[in-house]
Structures are given as C-alpha cells and as structure tokens.
Amino acid sequence: MKKLVVSTGAGISAESGISTFRDAGGLWENYPVMDVASHDGYVRNPELVHRFYNERRKALLKAQPNAAHRLLHALESEGWEVYVITQNVDDLHERAGSSRVMHLHGELMKVRATDDETKVYELRPDALETTPATIIDGHHVRPHIVFFQEAVPMFEPATALAEEADVFVIIGTSLVVYPAAALLQYVRRGVPVYYIDPNPAQVPAGVHVIRATATEGMRELFRILTGKEAQK
C-alpha cells in the first residue's frame, strides 16, 4: 500500500469557517499574537490566554469538516495509507474520519498539566471553558497548544513520515511557519509533491502546484491519484 503523507495548514479549515490568523480579518488583527500564543504571553496573563482558547473551542463546535477533509479520508478506501500532519489545532480531520492524524501545534479540545506535560486531558463538549484555576486530576492545566517560544515535540516524528512518503501533499499553508515548512526538505528525491493553495507560495522546481481552494484542489488530487471523479 502506498503511503500518502499530507501536510495541512489553516487553508483547509478556513472553508469550514475556522478563522485563520494571518489572512485579512484573521485572529491576529483582533489579538496581539504574542499575548495569546506565546510562552511569555501565557506567563504574563494566563487568564487572557485561557479566555482566548475558550472562544476558539466554542467556534470549533459550530464548524464541520468540509469536502477536503472528507476526501482525504476517502483516499483511505482507495488503497492509500494516508497520514495527515497538520499545523491546525482543530479536530476536523478526525471528525471527517482520518485515522492517522499528527498535530504539530497541539489540539484545541485538549488541555495538559502545567507541571507534567505528559498528562493530557480531553475536554467534554459541555465543559470547554478553563481558567488558570481549573484543576483536573489534581493538576492545574493549560491549553494543549504549542506556543511560540516553545519546542515542537512532534516535528521529529513528522520528518520521519515525510521521509517515508510515496506521495507528499501540501494543502492550505503559506510555507512560512517553521519548522512545519521545512517538512518538504525531508521528502525523498523523485517523490511526487503536490501543493494545493489558491495563492501558492514560491516552491522548488518539480512541485506540482494546484492553484485552487482546498476543496477544489482535493477533488483534482483525488482524480489524479485514483483516476476517479470525487463525489460532491
């Protein structure tokens, strides 16, 4: 079975109504990024950070996976071993049915102990709000998010997946967020690489650019990989 490794960014979730940070009208126009998404910001004002991610969780509950998420899952039934490496902290890939999802930047619907990062807890839909005073199993908790100024612990496993890819796909990312943008460097020479984005960044020679939204681009990729038309 061929291994399809897919690196996804904010563009794939934007079509489900999840606000991106960088685009016009994005979250960073409303919040200074270093206040809500950095280690220093959390130390300085944990109440604000908890409140910010509480809002993000409420918005996520209203969102649904879109056709791009569903088509990635559909490829599992077409003979592909699909691995998703996502920069997104939402759970839309999982809700679409993808069975192998690696989150580089953490998960919005989880929190972890402030004194032991190995203790991670999933929040219930009816108990999404946390504060610096929230205690679970005797531990104060923080958002299970990789903040700026913190290491990305899943990057090394992600590079190992990229090295094993028979086909590598990039969807909806600006290719400016590191270390995620560096995954392309780990793909073996000669492996087909597809990049789906309506406004693609400059990419190395040999990368097949599909200038389209995530949903339209995935329909095109589905046809390329399976020889079939994707159902809408």
Complete DSSP assignment for 176-220: -STTGGGGGGGSPTT--EEEE-SSPPP--TT-EEE-S-HHHHHHH
In tens digits, what is the pLDDT along the chain, a chain of 232 residues? Answer: 899 999 999 999 999 998 765 544 445 557 788 889 999 999 999 999 999 999 999 989 999 999 999 999 999 999 999 999 999 999 999 999 999 999 999 999 999 999 999 999 999 988 999 999 999 999 999 999 999 999 999 999 999 999 999 999 999 988 877 888 899 999 999 999 999 999 998 888 899 999 999 999 999 999 999 998 887 6
Question: Residue 64 has what pLDDT?
Answer: 97
Q: Does residue 96 share a domain with residue 38?
A: no
Determine the Cα–Cα distance for residues 151 and 106; give it in Å rounded to an integer. 11
Question: Residue 33 has what pLDDT?
Answer: 84
Dihedral sign computed on CA atoms, order 202, 208, 210, 215: negative
Question: Residue 20 has what pLDDT?
Answer: 62
Tokens matching residue 114: 């402030």
For 139, phi then psi, to 5°, come to: -115, 135
Contact call for residues 109 and 61 (beta carbons, < 8 A): no
Beta partners for 143?
111
Q: Which of 223, 176, 229, 167 is nearest to 199 (CA)?
A: 176
Q: Does residue 174 share a domain with residue 224?
A: yes
pLDDT digits (tens, 9 = 90+) for 98-116: 999 999 999 999 999 999 9
Q: Does residue 47 share a domain with residue 134?
A: yes
Q: Which of 163, 225, 219 is nearest to 191 (CA)?
A: 163
Q: What is the CATH number of the domain that holds 32?
A: 3.30.1600.10
Q: Which residues are catalytic?
A: 105
Q: Does residue 81 share a domain with residue 117?
A: no
Q: Does residue 2 share a domain with residue 114?
A: no
Give the type of residue at 52.
Answer: F
Q: Does residue 197 share a domain with residue 91?
A: yes
Beta partners for 106?
145
Question: Residue 181 has what pLDDT?
Answer: 86
Q: Does residue 100 share a domain with residue 206?
A: yes
- Among 145, 166, 199, the domain-final residue is 145
Question: Residue 24 has what pLDDT?
Answer: 41
Classify 228 as helix, strand or coil: coil
Q: Does residue 184 share a domain with residue 69?
A: yes
Question: Residue 215 has what pLDDT?
Answer: 97
Determine the Cα–Cα distance for residues 101 and 117; give it in Å rounded to an integer. 20
35-41 LR contacts (CB < 8 Å, sep 24+) = 37/145, 37/147, 37/148, 38/147, 38/148, 38/149, 39/147, 39/148, 39/149, 39/150, 40/149, 41/147
Q: What is the mean pLDDT of the chain?
A: 92
Q: Does residue 181 share a domain with residue 229?
A: yes
Q: Does residue 208 share a domain with residue 114?
A: no
Residue 190 belongs to domain spanning: 1-17+65-105+152-232
pLDDT digits (tens, 9 = 90+) for 15-32: 999 876 554 444 555 778
**pTM score of the predicted model:** 0.93
Q: Does residue 221 share a domain with residue 166?
A: yes
| Overall number of domains in the chain | 2
Helices (H), ranges, 63-104? 67-74, 92-95
